[in-house]
Amino acid sequence: MTLGTALTSLEEIYDDFIKEYEMGSFTEGVCGWNGDDALMGPESVGKRFAQYCDRVGHKKEDYKGLQTELEDWVDIHLGNLEMKFR
């Protein structure tokens, strides 16, 4: 998330999550084969997105579609990264 600024529109939040993910800001755990931080999977990113949206006052029915779209984007992005290392 952009530090010091509370993002409020769902589109801003969604765009920021994608930007931050591409920059490697969403990690959990460590890759077993090289010891690097592991990028979060789709469900973890979606959960964090939902938590942020809840915190700034959005209702689940308003952000659920973007949450699903973000999870799909992360899944595709990770697949593309995996293809680069094969």
Looking at residue 6, what is its pLDDT?
Answer: 64
Q: Give the model's pLDDT for residue 29.
A: 63
What pLDDT score does 2 carry? 45
* Under 8 Å between Cβ of 70 and 49: yes
Q: What is the pTM of this model?
A: 0.81
Single out the residue of 27, 39, 37 nearest to residue 77, CA to CA.
Answer: 39
Q: Give the tokens for residue 85.
A: 């290392």
Q: Please tell me the predicted confidence (pLDDT) of residue 37.
A: 55
For each of the chain's 86 residues, which pLDDT tens digit applies? 444 456 689 999 999 999 999 988 888 765 555 445 578 889 999 999 999 999 999 999 999 999 999 999 999 998 887 776 66
